[in-house]
Structure 1
């Protein structure tokens, strides 16, 4: 499990992910080699999965986000697998979540504008296999979007 030093390292990394290892080691008060070993341990244990660039898709001209709640035809034994395989191939689908309950899957879809969204919906979403029902929710505002954990 994580000790206090691991938690402190992760808190600093969450607050400023672009900090270099030597700068982070200075902030925490440890050597660069010791910090590197700790980071390796966190990666090996699966706690730290890496660093990534977060791209603002709106800056690239995508103005529309729609959340699609989908119920699948569960009488088909491979409905989930075949649906997921096909949905992953749509570039504008930026997130896929599965649920237990009335809704089986949620897709987050981005588009340049409503015309582009309608084209994606008609040509790609409606052709996905085993769809029983779809509910579209137009995204209005993102109130909170935070990957940081309370460590």
Structure 2
């Protein structure tokens, strides 16, 4: 079952685009320096460019695989934070990045203007922990 069908009560899906193709997923796997998290893969096989509304107040977006490649290249994410992958953004100018930071491997938030692992704010251990259990909802 897709994670988006098990969303924590703090979240709802505001908008989305059609599912990713397997070809686009394969291109992202080839592009990425890290293994693509299975929860991200599960989501983009159902829908992409997903706007997740938090507490009916703000939102964050989970990109498509091609969007991930485009944004990671555009902002040179891996030059600033090696062995990471930006998978989304919030409405406040921050990227959601899967990386190893000060609390270990997980999902972090860091401003596009100050891409540094030292400045990254820990959200949760995974997208699933965030979306299903609500852990880190106050951070995104």
Please report the TM-score for the alignment, with normalisation by the length of structure 1.
0.24
Task: Work out which structure has the larger RCO, using CA pairs closer than 8 Å and 6 or more positions apart in sequence.
Answer: 1
Greater share of helix residues, 1 or 2?
Answer: 1
Higher strand share: 2
Q: TM-score, normalised by structure 2?
A: 0.26
